[in-house]
Structure 1
Amino acid sequence: MRSVPLLAGLLLCAACSSAPPPPVAPPSLEERAQAVLAQTSGTLRLAGLQKPVTVLRDPWGIPHIYAETQEDLFFAQGFVAAQDRLFQMELWRRAGEGRLAEILGPRAVAGDRFARLLRYRGDMDAEWASYAPDAREIVTAFVRGVNAFIAQSRGRLPLEFELAGFTPEPWTPEVCLLRHASWAVTLNAGSEVARARLLREVGAELTERFLPTDPPKALEIPPGLDLTGIGPEILAGSGALRGPVSFRDGSNNWVVSGALSATGKPLLANDPHRALQLPSLRWMVHLVGPGWNVIGAGEPALPGVSAGHNDRVGFGFTIVGIDQQDLVVEETHPDDPGLVRFGDGWETLQVERQTIRVKGGDPVEVDLKWTRHGPVLHEDPARRRAYVLRWVGGEPGTAGYLGALSLNRARTWEEFQKAAARWKVPSENLLYADVDGNIGWQVAGLAPIRKGWDGLLPVPGDGRFEWQGFLPPGELPSAFNPPGGFLATANHNITPAGYPHVLGYDWAPPDRYQRILQAFRVPGGQKFTVQDFQELQHDVLSVSAKRLLRLLGLAGRTQPAQEALRPWIGRLLRWDGSLGKDSAEAAVYALWSAELPAAVFSPQLTAEQWKLLAPSASPQRAVEALEAVRPEERDAVLYRTLAAALQKAEEKLGPDPASWRWGALHQTPFRHPLSTGEAQSALLDLPPVERGGDAGTVNAAAGPGFQAVHGASFREILDVADWDRSVATNVPGQSGQPGSPHYADLLPLWAGGEYFPLLFSREQVDLQAKDKLVLQPGS
């Protein structure tokens, strides 16, 4: 009897074996991403290494690289950076080379042309020597490491390349010398165009009111300059490279001596503000080898770090407003547009024809042109003009942040100052602290000398408005061990009293700097800790809000407020001005201040004037204007705009004021550039983060339409008494590879105002390392 079930079972199995297998579902995007993640543990053999290199990744994804030679150290940095960020690095490279149209299509052609104009074409020996004596060797090793990862990953490139439909190409050392990063953080050709256009359309009084200079200076049209035809089309294509960079979003750094710290040694804090993006602009690394022991953050496509510390010195930076650009208006010959006037004669334009390959379209032929002043951005044949960019990026040593290669190795204040002299672009406030207890501040960057003119407007290119060289580094502002025991910068006007030179006229409002000063001027002499600095970096008290609230407190003396406004007036007057994400008052203030510019300024202007001036009409300028008008007029505007703000709050946040929150309006999105559909979004995008603060708070969070897309993606607080007690943050994660455990692991910390330890000693790194990768010489 048992044989029947057995036979049936055998027949059933036979039938099963002859049936077609069920279809296998293709791997999901997440599975494909996981399949190509970089190897971060075990052993890899790489051609080009001289000796073994150890890479220890800590719990937060920071690679600590230990090498026996300098060449191997930077080879490994290039390799490991590419492991984490190759797709981002390749986009950076293509943006700088002017080759985005090859992967993005016709919309990128204008930006590609602009990028090609910016490329350095000068003395290459002087270029390399400017950054550091061994800069060429370091960069060459770094690039070989990038190429080693590209070669190793040919069959399993990061998923982004599959989604984008292209593959990376081998790098050359010259990639690290591209100038687009420098362009993105220099001033001020755009300001010159804006001032010229407003001066022509609305006159000097309104231009100076809406685009004020610091210090105040009357605008003077350079003799021979015709303002007609000067408009935004001159800088067409530049926006793709500049990105959303503005002094309004700024950066902060400060340092205290041991006299003001709980440890008796200096503490240094830094939080550069740039685009909040996915992946992060910054990439962190620890480099240990002969002559090197430095940790911090830089850009993944460059060797070294730009903010951090070595075993003796800590450093951080903020942009300083040196005017490093001029727009030059060249006159072309009436019979030959290939000639431009200079002095009493004519000079020939240099012309270079290039082909821009375009995805989905025909190649585009472009003629790139230069004069003695720089690249020709725009031509106006009808007016016989060529608009030319004179900027520091044409000088040797002006690839953005590469000068940090010297800064990373400074061991004393004197060495730091010598290294700062090599840092030419972007212009920076460099702060310093060392283990001997010293603190310092050094302005770094090329500062053009303009004799008899100010650089606020475009200038004729006939030879009367030439740069007379650059200020010697020793004449740039600095301070060492100041009597007060602290130094701070926040993109504000840092020009010392009595300083004999003009560095520039465009600076950030002083709100953030004023708030930082308030923290240090505590009666009784507070002794600061790392925790105190964490709280200050996340401070959201608005100096501008307090200024507006002062006016509101004066209101009512001329006319009482409407009944419906009185409860909110009372709430606002009791409010401390902190723009916390859970604050209803902060939400009302933000909506209210947004109403002020149009209410204050537009009644005084024609519709066309207001259209031109509105982009420059900030709430802060509106409050300044209200401080100068009659109380009756002031109060009427305050009440009317507050009523409009409350109405908008109901529309945006609902009818119940108890549920109103600033964070419900004010959020940072994290959307990947390749997120083009539901499946891609699920893998690549991250949830938005509710934010407090605004552009003027120490914890800066700014952007259009209440989207907080600019701010501090990277923060560091350095404890000189014990480097292992230093802390940092970098959002959203170290890796740009979707599916990596370090793709977004730092986002919750950043969103919660928390930090991770910046491990430095080998003992602590070994103790907490999560991954160990050994790179061995071989093939």
Structure 2
Amino acid sequence: MSGLVKWLLRLAGGAILLAVLALLGAYFLLSRSLPDYDKTLSVPGITAPVEIVRDNANVPHILGQTDADSFFGLGYAHAQDRLWQMMTMRRTVQGRLSEVFGTRTVKIDSTMRRFDLYTLARQSVAVQDAETLAALKAYSDGVNARLNEINREALGRGAPEQFLFNAPIAPWQPADSIALIKLMAVQLSSHLENEVLFARAALALENPDRLADIMPLAPGSGIAALPEYAALFPGATWSRIAQTTPERGDPLSPFKRRAFAGASNAFAAAPSRSASGGTLLANDPHLGFSAPNIWYLARLNLTSGGVIGGTIPGIPAILTGRSARLGWAVTSSYLDDQDLYIEELNPDDPNQYRTPDGWKPFRTTRSIVEIKDADPVTLTLRWTENGPVLPGSHYNLAEVTPAGHVAALNWTALSPEDTTMSSAIGLMRAQSVQDAIDLSRLYIAPSQNLTLVDQSTIAMRTIGAMPRRDARHESEGRMPARGWLPENRWQGTLPFAANPEFVAPSGGILGNTNNKVVDRPFPMHVSHLWGDTQRVHRWRRLMQGREVHTRESFIEAQLDTVSFTARSLLPLIGADLWFTGESAPEGTPERLRQRALTMLADWNGEMNEHLPEPLLYAAWMRALMDRLIRDDLGPLSREFDHPDPIFIERVFRNVDGAADWCDVKQSAAIETCTDTARMALDDALIWISERYGQSLESLRWGDAHQATHDHQVLGDVPLLRHFVNIRQSTSGGDNTLLRGRTRGGNGPDPFHNVHGAGYRGVYDFADPDSSVFIIATGQSGHFLSRYYDNLSQLWRRGEYIPMSLDPDLARAASVGITTLLPTDQ
């Protein structure tokens, strides 16, 4: 018996030893790709030595003696820190994810192939100006220099993910960088989904008047009555089976639900409103969270002067940041740059579709999607004069496409002569607000609001191509239209002068929270859909509450967690519930409701992570939205998975009979809005009790509102997810300036913070080197690097790091200096 025990112990010891050796071997292989920041390397493609000085936050200060050499250095630095991210984004826009990830991503690839953005990017290379072509070429050479170094020195395939997925890496090309801008357009687009959802809601609602409630326009605008969607296609049959859209739920998917299709804050102050006497600028673009973060901080030395701020790996430009003389910031403009067309098929020849000039054949090509561990799929891609034909499964198009028809998309991002990259590269060399505005003429897509400051002037300009629509357009772009009618088709684009512009406002303050910026009638309207109707009220109060502003007051505004929405909705919804009813014994639902109402009555609307009231409020609004719409919309109600403040306000103020939503159609009784509000609060308290217990005073909003910086492909892997995911308790909410957009839906974690400011920057041009920056995770995409999450706690606490254009300051606390030498030296 003792001999058996000894052998079992030996076997166990041997297994443990083998496991330890395996872990050490894995660590050795994975750590080989950790970049060495302190070295000298000879590379082809540069004309003089290039220094890449890494400051103590691992921000690269790229000091080239020519512009091309600096762009080369940026490409090399991006590939050092974010190679896997760059290659995954390139595969996404090419429609080649399935070669690595198998059947999981076939639907994503199928849709991206139909857009054919990569082909359009390759065609757009030829229309860039000479300086941009030189920058793209130099940047590509820098990326490829790092790839050659990885291959030559066996540096762990360049990224740890490369050992887990067979993802061969092709050399980087100029078209790849242009394609990534087009990929951003995919991620920031929401008009296609909204058009489809508008039509689906129109078909689902018994009373067409209620469409204005559930799909409301931003306040302050007017629109003529639209036709009923079904009436556009007499005798048509409609699919009532909701199509699944799994491509939107995959972390690798660029197709974001409309609640996550971009947001941002930017605001500026003129010298007259600045305590320092210089212009002020703040920016925090909002995108989906991931690890690593999409943003990467960098400084470039150009012959026109240094530039510093946020880049996106793969794109050789400071997209938001500053130079010594100019600051620029971006926010989603929500310009309506997409229109969906329903194209009629020829009943005698399904290869033809109807046009104003009769039947025409589709432009057709074949495309093969290679799939890991599965047979390839051959796609037939079709284009009409209005754009690519999309499958019925995409965004539930089958539900709004009658039999005998297909859907096609027109979109400014589908331009083969896209000069957006030239605009972005030129902006870094601009010396004044007017220079920057002139350069933004080249910008095509995705449309943005560009906020600018120089030494004396502040301005904001909507940039991006604006479609020219006919005033007779039957749906005004709010829902799909018949593609064969001339009045529905685009007539090119509007002149640049049509884009909204605000220069040197008399009040000395301007900004944007994705709110409506102009009130113009169709077709000059810019958009019927705006991303924000709430945050702007709090921003306006903070800006007008001071005669002059400082860098610190702008930081305070960026980090503000007071919800104007909560302050305005709670008194309205609870008007007949506050301090009413008889006292109830402890332990009863009535007593729990009374406690919750008492807590909310004393709450000031601050969405602080340490408070219980934000969770009570958020759970109540979520339950209320569900109760108001589920019986009217049925399964379609799942698409409205975030409470809409305008909708709720219309209902409880009974605007144009909107209180009809409060009555449950399937019940015999007639429920009032007070009844619905009370039942929704009970629903919320039951959910909270089951999840967190009945001790309401000990609840923490931050326990539910965790920021989820998850790795896109390893984030769900057991054990490994604890090393690659970054989770943080956070303040803020859907409608606060410190925006933390919640996941929504009916899943286990509806209040996880999944979308917000991955980058923040505040610049004071009275002392530009006092400017501060932060990103949400860290500079490195390598999860074994100490720079993978080194900035995350600073970001969570609302802290920043200084970033100066003074190279001596970067050198003084550098963590390494990489010197690139021309091969002939």
TM-score (norm 1): 0.90
Contact 2:122 2:175 in 1 (8 A): no
User: What's the counterpart of residue 553 of structure 2?
Assistant: 532
User: Is 1:219 paired with 2:259?
Assistant: no
Q: Deviations over 1:107-159 (max 9, x none)?
A: 21221121122234888898346554422221121112111111110222221
User: Is 1:107 paired with 2:147?
Assistant: no
Cα distance between partner residues in 1 of 2:41 and 2:133: 26
Which ranges in structure 2 are unaligned for 5 or more consecutive residues?
1-16, 393-397, 585-590, 663-670, 745-749
User: What's the counterpart of residue 750 of structure 1?
Assistant: 795
**Secondary structure at the residue paired with 1:83?**
helix
CA deviation after TM superposition for structure 1 residue 407, in Å: 1.6
Aligned length: 752
Please tell me the residue identity of whatever aligns with 1:459.
Answer: A
Cα distance between partner residues in 2 of 1:283 and 1:456: 36
Cα distance between partner residues in 1 of 2:778 and 2:643: 36
Q: Deviations over 1:214-248 (max 9, x none)?
A: 33433225885467447875988577322356368
Cα distance between partner residues in 1 of 2:205 and 2:554: 45
**Secondary structure at the residue paired with 1:94?**
helix
**Secondary structure at the residue paired with 2:299?**
strand
User: What's the counterpart of residue 538 of structure 2?
Assistant: 515
CA deviation after TM superposition for structure 1 residue 400, in Å: 6.8
User: Is 1:674 paired with 2:674?
Assistant: no
**Change in CA separation of 1:516 and 1:248 when aligned onto 2, cut-off 3 Å:** farther
Cα distance between partner residues in 2 of 1:188 and 1:583: 36
CA deviation after TM superposition for structure 1 residue 556, in Å: 5.3
Cα distance between partner residues in 2 of 1:566 and 1:706: 23
Cα distance between partner residues in 2 of 1:382 and 1:577: 46
Q: Deviations over 1:182-234 (max 9, x none)?
A: 22212412111111222122253233321123334332258854674478759
Q: Deviations over 1:628-670 (max 9, x none)?
A: 2599934433333334333333322223233211111111123
Cα distance between partner residues in 2 of 1:620 and 1:585: 22
CA deviation after TM superposition for structure 1 residue 289, in Å: 2.7
- Listed as ranges, the matches of 1:572-721 within 5 Å are 572-602=600-630, 605-606=631-632, 608=634, 611=637, 614-615=640-641, 618=644, 621-628=647-654, 633-672=672-711, 673-675=713-715, 677-686=717-726, 688-702=727-741, 703-704=743-744, 705-721=750-766
CA deviation after TM superposition for structure 1 residue 594, in Å: 1.4
More off after superposition, 640-649 vs 259-268: 640-649
Please tell me the residue identity of whatever aligns with 1:680.
Answer: L
**Secondary structure at the residue paired with 2:389?**
strand
- Listed as ranges, the matches of 1:158-177 within 5 Å are 158-177=159-178
Cα distance between partner residues in 1 of 2:120 and 2:165: 36
Cα distance between partner residues in 1 of 2:150 and 2:420: 29
Equivalent in 16, 21, 25 of residue 25 of structure 1? 21
Please tell me the residue identity of whatever aligns with 1:685.
Answer: N
User: What's the counterpart of residue 766 of structure 1?
Assistant: 811
**Secondary structure at the residue paired with 2:426?**
helix
**Secondary structure at the residue paired with 1:206?**
helix
Contact 1:433 1:439 in 2 (8 A): yes
Cα distance between partner residues in 2 of 1:352 and 1:427: 29
**Secondary structure at the residue paired with 2:349?**
coil
Cα distance between partner residues in 2 of 1:397 and 1:405: 16
**Secondary structure at the residue paired with 2:313?**
coil
- Listed as ranges, the matches of 1:475-554 within 5 Å are 475-496=498-519, 501-522=524-545, 525-551=546-572, 554=575
User: What's the counterpart of residue 374 of structure 1?
Assistant: 387
Cα distance between partner residues in 2 of 1:224 and 1:636: 38
**Secondary structure at the residue paired with 1:446?**
coil
CA deviation after TM superposition for structure 1 residue 498, in Å: 8.2
**Change in CA separation of 1:104 and 1:50 when aligned onto 2, cut-off 3 Å:** same
Contact 1:196 1:457 in 2 (8 A): yes
**Change in CA separation of 1:194 and 1:71 when aligned onto 2, cut-off 3 Å:** same
Cα distance between partner residues in 2 of 1:499 and 1:463: 18
More off after superposition, 206-215 vs 94-103: 206-215
Please tell me the residue identity of whatever aligns with 1:98.
Answer: G
**Change in CA separation of 1:131 and 1:625 when aligned onto 2, cut-off 3 Å:** farther
Which ranges in structure 1 are unaligned for 5 or more consecutive residues?
1-21
Cα distance between partner residues in 1 of 2:126 and 2:765: 31
**Secondary structure at the residue paired with 1:745?**
coil
User: Is 1:461 paired with 2:474?
Assistant: no
User: What's the counterpart of residue 18 of structure 1?
Assistant: none
CA deviation after TM superposition for structure 1 residue 613, in Å: 6.9
**How much identity, in percent, do the aligned residues show?**
27
CA deviation after TM superposition for structure 1 residue 258, in Å: 1.5
CA deviation after TM superposition for structure 1 residue 398, in Å: 4.0
Cα distance between partner residues in 2 of 1:753 and 1:671: 20
CA deviation after TM superposition for structure 1 residue 543, in Å: 1.1
Equivalent in 395, 414, 434 of residue 434 of structure 2? 414
CA deviation after TM superposition for structure 1 residue 694, in Å: 1.0
User: What's the counterpart of residue 734 of structure 1?
Assistant: 779
Q: Deviations over 1:270-312 (max 9, x none)?
A: 1011111101011121110323521111210111111001121
User: What's the counterpart of residue 16 of structure 1?
Assistant: none
More off after superposition, 164-173 vs 97-106: 164-173
Please tell me the residue identity of whatever aligns with 2:494.
Answer: L
Contact 1:52 1:775 in 2 (8 A): yes
**Change in CA separation of 1:316 and 1:49 when aligned onto 2, cut-off 3 Å:** same
Q: Deviations over 1:6-33 (max 9, x none)?
A: xxxxxxxxxxxxxxxx978232544433
Equivalent in 294, 315, 319 of residue 302 of structure 1? 315
Please tell me the residue identity of whatever aligns with 1:450.
Answer: R
**Secondary structure at the residue paired with 2:339?**
strand
Cα distance between partner residues in 1 of 2:291 and 2:177: 22
User: What's the counterpart of residue 469 of structure 2?
Assistant: 450
**Secondary structure at the residue paired with 2:429?**
coil
CA deviation after TM superposition for structure 1 residue 769, in Å: 2.4
Please tell me the residue identity of whatever aligns with 1:600.
Answer: L
Cα distance between partner residues in 2 of 1:269 and 1:349: 48
Cα distance between partner residues in 2 of 1:111 and 1:765: 42
Contact 2:93 2:117 in 1 (8 A): no
User: What's the counterpart of residue 423 of structure 2?
Assistant: 403
Contact 1:181 1:399 in 2 (8 A): no
Equivalent in 393, 404, 408 of residue 388 of structure 1? 408
Contact 2:692 2:699 in 1 (8 A): yes
Please tell me the residue identity of whatever aligns with 1:580.
Answer: N
**Change in CA separation of 1:719 and 1:613 when aligned onto 2, cut-off 3 Å:** closer
Measured on the aligned residues, the alpha-carbon RMSD in Å equals 2.8
Contact 1:321 1:506 in 2 (8 A): yes
More off after superposition, 263-272 vs 113-122: 113-122
CA deviation after TM superposition for structure 1 residue 352, in Å: 1.3
**Change in CA separation of 1:391 and 1:562 when aligned onto 2, cut-off 3 Å:** farther
User: What's the counterpart of residue 425 of structure 1?
Assistant: 445
Equivalent in 274, 296, 309 of residue 287 of structure 2? 274
User: What's the counterpart of residue 84 of structure 2?
Assistant: 87
TM-score (norm 2): 0.86
Cα distance between partner residues in 2 of 1:87 and 1:245: 27
User: What's the counterpart of residue 75 of structure 1?
Assistant: 72
Contact 1:448 1:467 in 2 (8 A): yes
Cα distance between partner residues in 2 of 1:429 and 1:119: 26
Contact 1:52 1:774 in 2 (8 A): yes
Cα distance between partner residues in 2 of 1:633 and 1:519: 37
Q: Deviations over 1:429-465 (max 9, x none)?
A: 1111112x21111111111011111111212222412
